[in-house]
């Protein structure tokens, strides 16, 4: 733990040697690529094609004008030039889709001595290769064994101590010991990742009887937040090691675990959550309304379920710094074990956490509007892109209703044009 503290202080320093070397390495790559005539791809700063926010009608009007010098008002029911609008939008979506790119690791403009952090890396010079090799020896030969040891220690203590506390009668003593054990074990697990966390506005930390909602990047979001305060977890019951951990945790603290068949019952889930928040002695519930991991460049649609309960919501924004290690979990590409090994073999996990002021549902506001308002506040504070798309697109196809939307807009435009022409 002392060694990890030293590493944390070194990496968190604004002029750390790693930060200096990553920019030096990037310059070497760029210079070497220029000498060898290898063009390097520079990722977009915001990963979105720059375009003016215009409506479908305005864009088609512009295309018709440039093609036939006729105004939209005098246009026929359909013009062949209209196809170019949909072709252009289709090509833009293929080249620069603002949704699917959120489900892959963000590529950095600077190389941080981790091959996986920048796909432009190639052999440029002997010095650069030696420097990378030295980093591999340090990360895998020294940091990884230390971190794995700490991880097993933290998880082992959590299972054993919470199981013991579970035999105590309910009361202040049990709650006090449960809180201390959870905090201690989560902090050991945070050390296992060499996580450097900066908490802001702690006066807004979630309180009992409330619901804490946060953007979701990785499974470690849980220990990032739980190492600064205790929460009641919500999730599906698992088997294996995860199941053992869940059973031991619920003995010491009233977490909310659901059977696989119960998760699909929205009314049962809402009832369990509502009963929990009504008891002001119970810990705040921690929920990630996106329902899936996003690559920390944006916030996607919040499911409305947790916003229908009517309890006070405590928004939390989490922003990771990918220069020292990427915390995003691409579950379609990596299993949990391989993901954790990648995390533990990175330099460090650096992130900032902002506790936002509590928010309540306003009069006349439905659950969807409330969820969007909370999401917008989290995106604004974390410097993330606020997207309306459902994170379920990570594994599913776009609904037909989204496809039909553009067809309806185009039809409405043509019908409106015909009506205007008939009235005139």
pLDDT tens for each residue of 352-404: 999 999 999 888 888 889 999 999 999 999 988 888 877 776 666 666 776 77
pTM of the model: 0.73
- Who has greater pLDDT, 72 or 252? 252
Beta bridge partners of 353: 199, 318
Residue range 163-182, pLDDT digits in tens = 898 888 888 888 899 889 99
With 60 as the cut, is the pLDDT of residue 118 above it?
A: no
CA–CA separation, 316 and 353 (whole Å): 7
Position 138 pLDDT exceeds 60:
yes
pLDDT at residue 60 above 50? yes
For 28-44, what is each residue's pLDDT tens digit?
555 555 555 544 444 44
Q: How confident is the model at residue 340, as a pLDDT?
A: 86
Question: Of residues 15 and 237, which shows the higher confidence score?
Answer: 237
The confidence score (pLDDT) of residue 94 equals 62
Share of the chain above pLDDT 70, in %: 67
Task: With beta carbons less than 8 A apart as the criterion, state whether 105 and 47 touch.
Answer: no
Task: Check if the beta carbon of residue 218 is closer than 8 Å to that of residue 329.
Answer: yes
Nearest to 191 by CA among 149, 221, 160, 159: 149
Phi-psi region of 104 (alpha: psi -120 to 50; beta: other; left: phi over 0): beta
Q: What is the pLDDT of residue 424?
A: 53
Per-residue pLDDT tens for 74-105?
444 666 667 777 777 777 666 666 677 777 76
Q: Where are the domains of the chain?
A: 157-389, 397-424
Q: Which residue has the higher pLDDT, 247 or 24?
A: 247
Pair 156, 46: CB distance under 8 Å = no
Question: How do strand 313-321 and strand 349-355 relate by DSSP bridges?
Answer: antiparallel
């Amino acid at each position: 733990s002392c060694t990890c503290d030293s590493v944390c202080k070194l990496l968190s320093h604004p002029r750390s040697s790693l930060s200096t070397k990553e920019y030096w390495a990037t310059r070497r790559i760029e210079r070497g690529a220029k000498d060898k005539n290898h063009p390097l791809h520079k990722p977009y700063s915001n990963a979105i094609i720059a375009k003016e926010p215009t409506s479908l009608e305005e864009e088609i009007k512009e295309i018709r004008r440039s093609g036939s010098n006729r105004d939209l008002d005098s246009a026929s029911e359909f013009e062949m030039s209209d196809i170019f609008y949909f072709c252009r939008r289709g090509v833009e979506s293929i080249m620069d889709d603002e949704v699917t790119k959120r489900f892959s690791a963000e590529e950095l403009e600077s190389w941080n001595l981790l091959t996986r952090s920048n796909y432009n890396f190639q052999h440029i010079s002997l010095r650069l290769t030696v420097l990378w090799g030295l980093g591999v020896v340090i990360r895998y030969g020294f940091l990884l064994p230390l971190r794995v040891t700490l991880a097993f220690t933290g998880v082992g203590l959590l299972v054993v101590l919470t199981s013991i506390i579970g035999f105590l009668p309910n009361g202040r003593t049990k709650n006090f010991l449960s809180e201390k054990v959870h905090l201690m074990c989560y902090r050991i697990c945070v050390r296992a990742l060499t996580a450097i966390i900066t908490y802001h506005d702690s006066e807004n930390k979630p309180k009992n009887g409330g619901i804490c909602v946060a953007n979701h990047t990785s499974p470690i979001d849980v220990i990032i937040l739980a190492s600064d305060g205790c929460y009641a977890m919500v999730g599906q019951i698992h088997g294996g090691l995860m199941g053992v951990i869940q059973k031991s945790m619920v003995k010491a603290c009233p977490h909310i675990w659901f059977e696989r068949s119960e998760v699909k019952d929205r009314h049962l889930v809402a009832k369990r959550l509502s009963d929990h928040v009504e008891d002001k002695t119970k810990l705040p519930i921690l929920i990630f309304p996106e329902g899936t991991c996003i690559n920390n460049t944006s916030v996607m649609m919040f499911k409305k379920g947790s916003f229908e309960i009517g309890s006070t919501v405590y928004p939390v924004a989490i922003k990771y710094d990918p220069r020292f290690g990427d915390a995003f979990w691409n579950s379609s590409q990596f299993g949990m074990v391989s993901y954790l090994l990648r995390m533990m073999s990175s330099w460090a996990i650096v992130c900032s956490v902002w506790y936002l002021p509590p928010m309540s549902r306003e009069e006349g506001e439905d659950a969807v509007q409330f969820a969007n308002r909370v999401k917008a506040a989290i995106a604004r504070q974390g410097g993330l892109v606020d997207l309306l798309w459902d994170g379920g697109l990570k594994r599913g196809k776009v609904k037909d209703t989204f496809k039909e939307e553009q067809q309806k807009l185009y039809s409405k435009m043509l019908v409106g044009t015909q009506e205007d022409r008939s009235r005139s």
